Chains A and B, each alone.
Chain A
Amino acid sequence: MGSQKRIAKELAELVESPPDGILVKLADESNLYLWKVYMEGPEGSPYHNGKFLLNLSLPTEYPFKPPTVSFKTKIYHPNVTNDDKGSMCLGMLRADEWKPSSRIHAVLEFARQLLAEPMPDDAIEGRIAEQYKNDRKRYDEVAKEWTRKYAVESS
């Protein structure tokens, strides 16, 4: 299958030369379509020092259909649903914006960039977006608190 070949290739490239602060592996060695992504909170953001686990799920029609990204680690962010799904709203992953020449590499970098710079105008959590725009200090506090609580391995 064409999609498997391409996915294997992308995975190999990502494992060989991972983007900054991102580590990928298969959730299950026998299934190319479900990836585990470990993402470090970018420096300068309230997520710094946190390590977030994301699930990346590829459709069988990949690359003709976009992958989906969800946060398994709880995160306080305007573009991530504040529920147990942790769905991430990425413009490039929407069906009408996806193009098959986009790579998972780009998707993951984009996701990490979103941690550094949330997009409140494209938010999925309106309340957090409002806070981000109007009360950045409080937003930073809560996001930091959540990062400490959920994304920092107790050592």
Chain B
Amino acid sequence: MADVGDRMFCHACGGVWLRDVQGLICPHCESDFTEIIEIPPDPDAEPPSPSPSSAHQPPARSPNPWADHDPWAHQEDDDLGHGWGDASGGRRGSGSGSRTGNGNGNGDGTGFTHRTYRSPDGRFTFSTTTYTHGFGGRSPPARQPTDPMMPMVQGLDSIFHGLASTYRQQNRPPTSVPSSNPTPDRDRGRTLGSFEFDLDAEGRTPGSQDAGLHPRDADGPQPVNNPLRTLSESSILELFRSDFGTNTQTGGGVRVMTGPNPLAMLSTLLNFDRHGDAVYSQEELDRVISQLIEQNATRGAPPPAPPIAIQSLPKKKVDKEMLGSEGRAECSICMDAVELGTEVTVLPCKHWFHYGCIELWLNQHNTCPHCRRSIDQ
């Protein structure tokens, strides 16, 4: 059995890594608010010894499906069929198998999809129950719930749904899997986020790279799968993550948590020092905002002039009088000499400039660049 080190989960940034490799501190955000995710030894993992007729078995099979287990990997997986498509391909390349999808997920992708895969010759069949939800890490803003509690409620709802359907399935005979090799224990342990195979006499379990899914060996005795194990490792943490994902809003680089969020409160309790610029309370938010105001304020600087006021300033051709006694003058913004007959814009204080020059300044401040008199009067 491949040695699987403990995995670590960072409650601050949601990162996941191997404890053996990078230790207890989050390598992504250097937070120490991390959790060791214990992966129980999986008796399902050991495949039965291959039979002699298994020459076409994929060689690069991972002996332990947990080795590649990543509870969140399926967030990156748009295609729900992707994982088991691979499995069938690796199995014997019988991609012609019929795929029946009777997903009961609702329109926005929340819910459960139950799919059954059957090879054309009926020799093997497997089915999946995929737990999906519509508020994963990448949910588009359009779907953002207005109530900050919504993701939490939806998530719990989905979990209870899942438990209910798991037990429903456990308590009734399988209908969608007419396998040629009846397996006495197939009623057991169809769990949330896991799938099982009904295999023929060559019975092996193809290694699965798919997250949250692990193969079962139908030939050997199986322990009852505890649905909560899968739940606790993917759904709940995922729920927290999704809560992060939907409740954060980005503005000026400041991440703000809105609404009551138990993880956020916990985080506040445990993180006396700030991480980056993520804040979790109104007080902290206020502090960050006033800091930004201080940084950006051009304190006391005059406000911009309205565009209409700028456009309606009188224009005039430069005459001899304006050139003064020296007979030459310049626009004091661009410092270019102004010749007789050039059109300039005159401010109420009688100072004049090129229109292009004074427009740029008035767009920032409504005062004369010379004498600071406001152009409003």
Contact = CB atoms under 8 A, between A and B. Distances in A.
Interface of A: 2, 5-6, 9-10, 63-64, 95-96, 99-101
Given A2-B334, A5-B334, A6-B334, A100 B361 contact: yes
26 contacts: A2-B356, A2-B357, A5-B334, A5-B335, A6-B333, A6-B335, A9-B335, A64-B364, A95-B298, A95-B299, A95-B301, A96-B299, A96-B300, A96-B301, A96-B302, A99-B367, A99-B369, A99-B370, A99-B372, A100-B332, A100-B333, A100-B357, A100-B361, A100-B369, A101-B332, A101-B370
A63 B333 contact: yes
B360 interface: yes
Contacts of A10: 335
A96 B335 contact: no
Majority DSSP secondary structure for residues of A touching B: loop
A63 B354 CA distance: 14
Given A99-B369, A101-B370, A64 B334 contact: no
Interface of B: 298-302, 332-336, 356-357, 360-361, 364, 367, 369-370, 372
A145 to B, nearest CB: 36
A101 B334 contact: no
B5 to A, nearest CB: 45
A106 to B, nearest CB: 12
A64 B364 CA distance: 8
A9 B330 CA distance: 12
Contacts, number: 36
A5 B335 CA distance: 9
A95 B299 CA distance: 8
The 8 A-B residue pairs whose C-beta atoms are closest, nearest first, are A96-B301, A101-B332, A95-B298, A96-B300, A100-B369, A99-B369, A101-B369, A100-B333
Contacts of B299: 95-96
Contacts of A96: 298-302
Nearest to A13: B335
A81 to B, nearest CB: 17
Nearest to B299: A96
Contacts of A63: 333
Contacts of B372: 99
Contacts of B301: 95-96
Contacts of A64: 360-361, 364
Given A10-B335, A100-B333, 16 more contacts: A5-B334, A5-B335, A64-B361, A64-B364, A96-B300, A96-B301, A96-B302, A99-B367, A99-B369, A99-B370, A99-B372, A100-B332, A100-B357, A100-B361, A101-B333, A101-B369
A101 B351 CA distance: 11
Nearest to B302: A96
A2 B360 CA distance: 11
A39 B298 CA distance: 29
A100 B336 CA distance: 13
Contacts of A101: 332-333, 369-370
A6 B330 CA distance: 12
A5 B336 contact: yes
A96 B372 CA distance: 11
Contacts of B370: 99, 101
B128 to A, nearest CB: 58
A1 to B, nearest CB: 11
Nearest to A102: B369
A10 B334 CA distance: 10
Contacts of A2: 334, 356-357
Contacts of A6: 333-335
Contacts of B360: 64
